[in-house]
Amino acid sequence: MEPTPTTSTPRPSLSPVSIALGVATAPILTAVWTSRTVLAALVELGETSEELFRGDRLPMLFYNDDEEMGR
């Protein structure tokens, strides 16, 4: 029986740059996700406030129901 040759897989080098990149990836992705969520919430808040205050600028229309009915 022949022995099977073992091949060792090369280990990735752990340079300071690759370590820093690995450590910085999660906070950067979290910041991007948070900024997109905050932006969407602020846009929604702006649209809602615009709809809310749109009615405040309309003129009040006063009319008498008796005159309209022809009495």
* Whole-number pLDDT of residue 61: 74
Between CA 44 and CA 51 the distance in angstroms is 11
pTM of the model: 0.52
Please check whether residue 18 is in contact with residue 12, taking contact to mean a CB–CB distance below 8 angstroms. yes
| Rounded-to-integer distance, Cα 20 and Cα 30, Å | 16
The whole-number pLDDT of residue 26 equals: 93
Mean pLDDT by 10 residues, the chain (71 residues): 69 83 93 98 93 73 67 54
What own/partner pairs with CB < 8 Å and gap ≥ 24 does 27-36 have?
Answer: none
